Amino acid sequence: MTSALIAYIHYLSIFVLFALLAIEHVQFKLPLDLQRARSLIVTDLAYGVFAGLVLFSGLARVIWYGKGLDYYLGNSLFHAKVGLFILVGLISAGPTFVFINWRNALKAGQVPQVSARQARWVIMAIRVELLLLLAIPLLAVLMARGHGLIG
């Protein structure tokens, strides 16, 4: 039963993670207004929380509730999945730092100033994250069917 619950939390967290990133993509457009800027910060915070939940539930599956640590460590697709997840995390740090830098302006009741160049960069980062996140379930499906085994 616990194995099924951990798997459910993992899958649900992935869906919510993707949804939150899609919401960020829709919300982030110029010109910003105060409400959308605040909402982006909350959405990005929730995105980080669910990324952590994906990570921890995934680790629990690998270590205790999945096919065994040896299976995962001996699978090249697992390494690719983890690598993509780490890459998405690194890319997401950029927009997160942009949003964090808005805090002082928002506390003062001002709309954060975002240049057109910075906005294009944030939008592109979010789009790349979405694209990379789409590849991870494909790798998982292939891995679950025995592809990618090393040796």
pLDDT digits (tens, 9 = 90+) for 17-29: 999 999 999 999 9
Could you tell me if residue 43 is inside a domain? yes
Nearest to 17 by CA among 147, 132, 112: 132
Task: Please report where in the chains the tokens 């982006």 appear, as a residue.
Answer: 40
User: Does a structural domain hold residue 19?
Assistant: yes
Q: How many domains does the chain have?
A: 1
pTM of the model: 0.91
Residue 149 lies in a domain: no
* Predicted local distance difference test score (pLDDT) of residue 106: 96
Confirm whether 75 is domain-assigned: yes
CB 108 within 8 A of CB 114: no
Backbone angles phi, psi at 149, to 5 degrees: -65, 135
| pLDDT per residue as tens digits for the range 115-136 | 999 999 999 999 999 999 999 9
Asked, for residue 18, whether it belongs to a domain, the answer is yes
Determine the longest span between alpha carbons in the chain, in angstroms: 59
Q: Does residue 151 lie in a domain region? A: no
Rounded to whole angstroms, the Cα distance separating 109 from 103 reads 10
Where in the sequence is the domain holding 86, given as residue range(s)? Answer: 2-144
Q: In the prediction, which pLDDT does 67 show?
A: 84
Q: Which residue shows structure tokens 């494909």?
A: 138
pLDDT bin (cut points 50, 70, 90) of residue 66 is confident
Which of 135, 111, 117, 138 lies closest to 37 in space, CA to CA?
Answer: 111
Q: Is the pLDDT of residue 65 over 90?
A: no
| 59 in a structural domain | yes
